[in-house]
Amino acid sequence: MAFSLASASPGLLVAFLLFAYALGSIPTGLWIARARGVDLRTIGSGNIGATNVSRGLGKGWAITVLILDAAKGWLPMALARRFGLPDAAIALVGLAAIVGHMFTFFLRGKGGKGVATSLGVSLAIYPPAGLCSFALYVLAYLATRLSSVGSLLGMWSFPVFCWVFGVPRPFFLLSFATAILVTLRHKANIARLLRGEEKRA
């Protein structure tokens, strides 16, 4: 399918972009931890994602947050596809969900690093490619006990798997843009990795 938004209803596309951003903005980990009497921003890395939830609440809650954050990426894309939006529009919807997670209006523009929401987006794009990337994340994490290493490897492997599986061009471009965004959100982690100071889980 051509990389074009021409066949998308402007009103419907705007509605989906706003919905995806709003859904992505929900700080799942922060709210769940707060309900348990924990402020994620004051422990561990201070991040609101599943890795820091694991530090504050344990792996069970971390898995719950991972699933919910992934759903924030998958659901709006699945609905956009159901409503017949073209691939280019669906890719923009996925990007809006990721940006919402990274720059949530609930936290005045702050947010998470986008890894779990990007996983949901990858599963909406093409499940086999998303699962392959997730498997690489798990293997890298188990080998190093460094979530940042697994996250970056998983994110940059996804465009490769998209190319291997031949996904439509808008989704390949989305996978590449997402990898760049997640890498930028990991600047501090990369600096600590280079200094040998990154915390192991």
| Radius of gyration, CA atoms only, the chain | 16
For 188, residues 6+ apart whose C-beta sits below 8 A from its C-beta are none
Q: How far are the Cα atoms of 58, 81, 133, 177 from residue 140, in angstroms, in the given order?
A: 20, 32, 11, 22
8 Å CB contact between 138 and 158: no
**For the chain, which ranges sit under pLDDT 50?**
1-2
Token pair of 106 as six digits: 């609930």
For residue 169, the one-letter residue type is: R
Indicate the domain borders of the chain.
Answer: 10-195
Q: For residue range 118-170, list pLDDT tens digits in order.
A: 999 999 999 999 999 999 999 999 999 999 999 999 999 999 999 999 999 99
| Entry field: residues in the chain | 201
Token pair of 122 as six digits: 């990858």
- Whole-prediction pTM: 0.91
Which one, of 34, 30, 25, lies nearest residue 50 by Cα?
30
Q: How far are the Cα atoms of 32, 75, 119 from residue 21, in angstroms, in the given order?
A: 20, 12, 16
